């Protein structure tokens, strides 16, 4: 039978601050026939998006629900303190938790850093989001500790940031539904891990994509199998003939020569 196979699409979720561009480019080079669709989600939406299979995989921040999701840590993000440009903390290149002792440190509800004890003085209430906390920093109400990527994402002309030392760091990871490691997911895992295009792992995605592009199913596979069988038979026949010729030459060489 022949028929058309729908072209697969790989849906990749990503949380604010994470930039998947380099991996998306590699995907386009290796699997141009498989569209990659980016799905922007908030940190709060990431788990549901993956568990409910609204995306095949996601670039998220740890921790994740290990009972429902698999994850591969990719890299750690530098933590910075966001302050007004004229703030006295800008006099230092690096800031320690002790340096924040006299300042109100905002702690938004979507904070992605795992604190045992938040440095500085606590605010009266917690902002709902990091974006809300940025507004409060600009208003001079406190300072904010975030991954550097989020400080850049929420950049304002009246704010700046300094690197923090001795504080937790955010971990970015590739995550996908537990038990949902499809060929396309395996291919993307290979890309973020730096596997070469000829790696045996992930080839299934390329083969599936090629089959979808041609729109041929079982008949194509059967034809290819027959062709391989015929090629193998010819190779075996040639090898047998070569062995026979070699044996004949050996026999002729072994015959005693007559001297005149």
- Condensed to tens digits (0 to 9), the pLDDT of residues 234-258 reads 455 555 555 655 555 554 554 545 4
The pTM score is: 0.75
pLDDT attached to residue 151:
98
Q: How confident is the model at residue 214 (pLDDT cuts 50, 70, 90)?
A: low
Of residues 41 and 209, more confidently modeled: 41
Of residues 225 and 183, more confidently modeled: 183
d(CA 226, CA 221): 9
Q: What integer is the mean pLDDT of 151-159?
A: 97
pLDDT attached to residue 161:
98
Taking the CA atoms of 94, 100, 103 and 107 in sequence, report the sign of the dihedral they define: positive
- Condensed to tens digits (0 to 9), the pLDDT of residues 19-33 reads 999 999 999 999 999
Structure tokens at 50: 């993956």
Q: Is residue 121 a contact partner of residue 104, using CB atoms and an 8 Å limit? A: yes
- Cβ within 8 Å of residue 110, ≥6 positions away: 42, 43, 44, 128, 129, 130
Helices of type H across 78-182:
130-138, 148-153
Query: Residues, the chain, total?
Result: 260
Res. 107: pLDDT tops 60 = yes
Q: 130 pairs with which residues across the strands?
A: none
Res. 85: pLDDT tops 70 = yes
pLDDT attached to residue 238:
55
- Name residue, tokens 């530098």: 78
Using DSSP bridges, classify how beta strands 170-177 and 104-106 pair: parallel, antiparallel or unpaired.
unpaired
Res. 231: pLDDT tops 80 = no
Peptide bond into 63 cis (omega under 30): yes
Q: 177 pairs with which residues across the strands?
A: 69
pLDDT attached to residue 193:
95
Q: Is residue 49 a contact partner of residue 39, using CB atoms and an 8 Å limit? A: yes
């Amino acid at each position: 039978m022949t028929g058309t196979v729908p072209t697969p699409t790989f849906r990749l979720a990503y949380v604010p601050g994470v930039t998947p561009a380099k991996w998306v480019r590699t995907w386009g080079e290796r699997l141009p026939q498989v569209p990659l669709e980016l799905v922007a989600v908030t940190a709060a939406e990431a788990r549901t998006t993956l568990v409910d299979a609204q995306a095949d995989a996601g670039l998220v921040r740890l921790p994740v629900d290990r009972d429902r999701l698999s994850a591969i840590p990719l890299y750690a993000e530098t933590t910075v303190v966001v302050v007004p440009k004229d703030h006295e903390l800008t006099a230092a290149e690096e800031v320690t938790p002790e340096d924040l002792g006299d300042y109100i440190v905002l702690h938004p509800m979507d904070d992605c850093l795992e604190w045992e004890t938040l440095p500085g003085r606590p605010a009266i209430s917690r902002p709902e989001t990091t974006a809300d906390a940025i507004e409060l920093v600009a208003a001079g109400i406190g300072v904010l500790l975030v991954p550097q990527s989020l400080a850049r994402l929420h950049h304002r002309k009246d704010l700046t940031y300094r690197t923090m030392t001795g504080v937790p760091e955010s971990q970015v990871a590739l995550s996908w539904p537990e038990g949902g490691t499809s060929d396309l997911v395996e291919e993307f895992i290979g890309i973020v891990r730096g596997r070469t295009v000829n790696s045996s792992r992930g080839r299934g995605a390329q083969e599936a994509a090629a089959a979808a592009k041609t729109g041929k199913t079982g008949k194509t596979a059967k034809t290819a199998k027959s062709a391989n069988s015929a090629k193998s038979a010819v190779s075996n026949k040639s090898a047998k003939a070569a062995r026979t010729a070699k044996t004949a030459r050996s026999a002729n060489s072994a015959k005693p020569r007559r001297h005149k």
